[in-house]
């Protein structure tokens, strides 16, 4: 029986894992001159077809040069706030660290979000953005850069937690990490796993994550005990 050891390092994506991005899209709806419900419905349709906001924005506001509004968006959005943090984040991260696990945030974000994340005072050991690493998910170099920053040689020690199949689950698994798919947010709700892909965990939120990792760890210990017992029994026979 071969059972992989439970990861001792948990690396979490930021958007829709730690940060509820509702305000991002609500501010965009204001700027594009449509209701939030309209923008979110069209964004969902785009995501379902493998697209993203760059497909949804021109659809709802064909005459608006949205790229020229990015500065105005940032100024109205104002960066991450405490109210944007999903309610299950602090309890889950605290429990993970309480169990002796290293907790790190690493996602596709502009570098200006780093100070905003630090200001939230989340219980993490480290946090880093794609901007700082100089490479974005799903590029394999992003995951290699995260491992290098953490000083970890064996990617199997890391559980990567993300909401997107394309940007998180598939490339993290390809990098040799264990994976946890959290099916929240537009992508988490709408993307589908390829048939041959099985994340180590699929969760609706972070609440159960600490317990499941504890159980994974205990299961490996139990399997070791059973294997040792079986070996003893064989020796006795």
Residues lying near Mg ion in the complex (CB under 5 A): 13, 15-16, 163
CB of 232 to Mg ion, least distance (A): 47
Measured from the CB atom, is 130 or 145 closer to Mg ion?
130
Report which secondary-structure segment, H or E, holds 44: helix 36-48
Identify which of 99, 116, 126, 95 has the alpha carbon closest to the alpha carbon of residue 11.
Answer: 126
CB of 89 to Mg ion, least distance (A): 13
Alpha carbon 74 to its chain centroid, in Å, reads: 22
Phi/psi region, residue 78 (left: phi>0; alpha: psi -120 to 50; beta: rest), is left
Secondary structure letter of residue 177 according to DSSP: -
* Tokens linked to 133: 């690493």
Measured from the CB atom, is 16 or 200 closer to Mg ion?
16
Measured from the CB atom, is 20 or 200 closer to Mg ion?
20
Closest residue to Mg ion: CB criterion: 15
Measured from the CB atom, is 17 or 32 closer to Mg ion?
17
For the beta sheet containing 201-203, the strands, ordered from the edge strand earlier in sequence to the opposite edge, are 126-129, 102-107, 9-12, 158-162, 178-182, 201-203
Contacts 24+ apart (CB under 8 A), 201-205: 201/159, 205/86, 205/88
Beta strands in 54-125 (DSSP E): 102-107
Measured from the CB atom, is 107 or 210 closer to Mg ion?
107
Query: Cβ–Cβ contacts within 10 Å for residue 180, how many?
Result: 27
Measured from the CB atom, is 20 or 163 closer to Mg ion?
163
CB of 107 to Mg ion, least distance (A): 6
CB of 106 to Mg ion, least distance (A): 11
CB of 14 to Mg ion, least distance (A): 6
CB of 87 to Mg ion, least distance (A): 17
């Amino acid at each position: 029986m071969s059972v992989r050891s439970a990861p001792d390092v948990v690396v979490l994506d930021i958007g829709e894992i730690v940060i509820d991005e509702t305000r991002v899209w609500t501010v965009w709806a204001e700027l594009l001159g449509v209701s939030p419900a309209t923008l979110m419905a069209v964004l969902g349709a785009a995501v379902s077809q493998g697209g993203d906001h760059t497909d949804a924005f021109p659809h709802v506001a064909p005459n608006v040069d949205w790229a020229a509004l990015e500065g105005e968006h940032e100024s109205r959005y104002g960066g991450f706030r405490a109210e944007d943090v999903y309610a299950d984040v602090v309890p889950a991260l605290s429990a993970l660290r309480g169990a002796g696990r290293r907790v790190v945030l690493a996602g596709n974000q502009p570098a200006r979000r780093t100070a905003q994340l630090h200001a939230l005072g989340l219980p993490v050991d480290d946090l880093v953005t794609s901007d700082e690493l100089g490479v974005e998910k799903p590029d394999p170099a992003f995951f290699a850069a995260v491992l290098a920053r953490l000083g970890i040689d064996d990617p199997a020690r890391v559980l990567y937690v993300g909401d997107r199949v394309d940007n998180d689950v598939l490339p993290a698994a390809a990098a040799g990490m264990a994976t946890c798919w959290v099916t929240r947010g537009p992508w988490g709700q709408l993307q589908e796993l390829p048939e041959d892909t099985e994340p180590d965990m699929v969760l609706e939120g972070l609440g159960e994550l600490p317990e499941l990792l504890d159980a994974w760890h205990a299961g490996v210990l139990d399997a070791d005990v059973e294997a040792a017992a079986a070996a003893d029994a064989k020796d006795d026979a």
